[in-house]
Structures are given as C-alpha cells and as structure tokens.
Amino acid sequence: MPHARLAVLVSGRGSNLEALHAACGSGRLAAEIALVASNRPDALALTRARAAGIATLACDSRGTGDRAAWDMAFMAAVGAARPDWIVLAGFMRRLDGAAIAPWAGRMLNIHPSLLPRHPGLDTHRRALEAGDAEHGASVHFVTAELDGGPVLAQARVPVLPDDTPERLAARLLPLEHRLLVASLGALLSGRVRLHGDRVWVDGHAAVRPLQLSADGNLS
C-alpha cells in the first residue's frame, strides 16, 4: 500500500501529533506526516515537529479581522503540501465551511468527550459537573459545525469518585493517542469512510461509532 500523506493541524502541546508520528515511524500507519500546521506560532507541537524533521507552517490567527479569509488562506497553504488526509490533533479553531469543503470526508478531528456530549472547551470539568458516569474521546469527520461532524470512533473511561478534571484528562490522554492512530488506520485501510453524512464501516452504514477495545483495536 503506498504511503498516505498526512497534514496535522495543531494549536498546543502536540502529544497526539507525537503518537501519529511514532505510528508512522514504526509502520503501524502506512503514512507519512508531510506537514504540521498551526494557528499558534508558539505551539509546543511545532517545536516537536521541527525536532522530528517534519515540515511546519505557522500562521498566527490572533488579531486577524476576516476569519473566513484567514481560514481560506490557511487551508490553501495546507493543501499545497498535497495531503491525502488532514488530521486535527488539538487544533483549537473552528474553520469556515467554505475553507474545508474540498476536504469533506478526508478531514478528522479528535475531541476529548463522548460526542455529542460536551462539544467545545473544558470537557473534563463539564463531564464531572454533569455527574457523568463515563467520559471519553471521539474521532469525527470535520464539518463546519463545532465538534459536530459524524463520529467514527470513541474511547471510554469510567469517571471515578475522586476524579478531578486533571486526573480525568491524564487518564484519557493515552487512550486518545490509541484512538486517533486506530481511527486513521481504519481510514487508510478503507475499512471506514464517509458516505454523504454517514460513516460506513466494512461496507455498511454504521449504527454507532466504533469503540476502542483494550487491545487497541476498533470494534
């Protein structure tokens, strides 16, 4: 299988980026990261990418007046790297619909909640405040709706009595890494794809998101 080209969009720390990079390096993903792009020039993820010898693009989105124009120019620059897939790994900006339209079905985001619960920010605190018995992460296809595109796969953790937002986040993060790698693997292999606004798995419209199992597979 020829290697797929990935563009990874980041705004922060870059631990999911590192998980993707490691999976590409070990051959678990038949892919290479062609570009890491950020709307935050000071993102730690960019430093990590440069240290790994990956091409980077930094375009500061702060203080730009015309959101839609910034989004269009940013996505054009990302597209110039000729990615097959675009992965949002801690990219903290909602992109305009026109800018992402060419990438429908080829753009994924990882979000730290069991969507449709808790779209947006502060998901761990909100899960605790809501008294959720279970929390988790979701990988979904990106649409113009914030954290609203069709969900491909999820990973779940129980909420424990002494959890804080920080503890919950720390327990979930390693599962996020496995979930993102497994989801991308399912896309690259052709097992999963977006058909219209539905996720298809193994040739059938999925009735629920795939779930990450203890062995790191999706079922």
Which one, of 113, 160, 159, lies nearest residue 134 by Cα? Answer: 159
Q: Which residues contact 211 (CB under 8 A, 6 or more apart)?
A: 153, 154, 155, 156, 218, 219
Q: Which residues bind ligand GAR (CB under 6 A)?
A: 12-16, 45, 89-90, 110-112, 137, 147, 176
Q: Which residue, 13 or 126, is less far from ligand GAR as judged by CB?
A: 13
* Known catalytic residue at 111: yes
Q: How far is the CB of 202 from ligand GAR (least distance, A)?
A: 26
What are the backbone dihedrals phi and psi of residue 160, each rounded to the nearest 5 degrees, phi first? -95, 155
Q: Which residue, 14 or 209, is less far from ligand GAR as judged by CB?
A: 14
The tokens for 61 are: 């989105």
Q: Which residue, 93 or 106, is less far from ligand GAR as judged by CB?
A: 93
Q: How far is the CB of 209 from ligand GAR (least distance, A)?
A: 15
The tokens for 26 are: 């070990």
Q: How far is the CB of 39 from ligand GAR (least distance, A)?
A: 13
**Which residue's CB atom is positioned nearest to ligand GAR?**
90
Distance CA 90, CA 110 (A): 7
Q: How far is the CB of 19 from ligand GAR (least distance, A)?
A: 8
Distance CA 144, CA 47 (A): 28
Q: Are 14 and 89 in contact (CB under 8 A)?
A: yes
Q: Are 10 and 59 in contact (CB under 8 A)?
A: no
Catalytic residue selected from 111, 118, 135, 177: 111
Q: Which residue, 167 or 200, is less far from ligand GAR as judged by CB?
A: 167
List the catalytic residues.
111
